[in-house]
């Protein structure tokens, strides 16, 4: 599966800075799987919990956060509240093995961008990342150059 998108680079930031994604999960296998899916096209930064993620968010330009539903300490709602307090909040996508319609509705109603079910499906992860890149591009002054996201076999 190949998804053609345009890379968005915010004026004043390097390509890596604009495209950095943060994964918050206590599960190392989540980080490894996400790296395999999106690591070719974006810098993936990882944190086992919200306190560690806060330090990373202070020092890097993150445009997207993928957060495990229940990270200890804290939950995805704690992460969302923290992100919304930032001057330029990144998008939040919640990840969960227990992804159902009720959780999906709660995630969207509270202001997160999307919900991804685990185990991760390459196409769904790439679709979610693409949708945030498109939104980022439409809401910021950008310089665009083409590239493509290709799902791993």
The whole-angstrom separation of Cα 56 and Cα 42 is 16
Q: Quote the percentage of the chain above a pLDDT of 70.
A: 78
What token pair was written down for 128? 């979610």
pLDDT of residue 40: 79
pTM, whole model, 2 decimals? 0.79
The domains found in the chain, sorted by start residue, are: 2-150 (3.40.50.2300)
- For 139-152, write each residue's pLDDT tens digit: 653 434 444 555 55
pLDDT of residue 136: 78
The whole-angstrom separation of Cα 99 and Cα 80 is 17
In contact, 65 and 79? CB cutoff 8 Å: yes
Q: Give the residues of the chain that fall short of pLDDT 50.
A: 1-17, 141-147
Q: What three-state secondary structure class fits 118?
A: coil
Q: What three-state secondary structure class fits 3?
A: strand
pLDDT of residue 152: 54
């Amino acid at each position: 599966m190949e998804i053609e998108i345009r890379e968005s680079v915010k004026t004043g930031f390097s390509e890596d800075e604009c495209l950095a994604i943060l994964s918050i999960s206590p599960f190392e296998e989540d980080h490894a799987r996400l790296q395999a899916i999106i690591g070719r096209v974006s810098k993936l930064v990882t944190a086992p919990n919200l306190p560690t993620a806060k330090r990373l968010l202070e020092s890097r330009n993150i445009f997207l956060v993928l957060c495990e539903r229940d990270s200890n300490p804290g939950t995805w709602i704690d992460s969302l509240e923290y992100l919304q307090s930032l001057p330029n909040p990144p998008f939040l996508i919640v990840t969960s093995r227990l992804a159902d319609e009720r959780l999906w509705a709660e995630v969207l109603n509270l202001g997160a961008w999307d919900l991804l079910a685990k185990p991760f499906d390459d196409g769904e992860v790439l679709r979610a990342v693409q949708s945030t890149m498109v939104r980022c591009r439409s809401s910021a002054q950008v310089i665009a150059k083409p590239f493509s996201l290709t799902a791993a076999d």
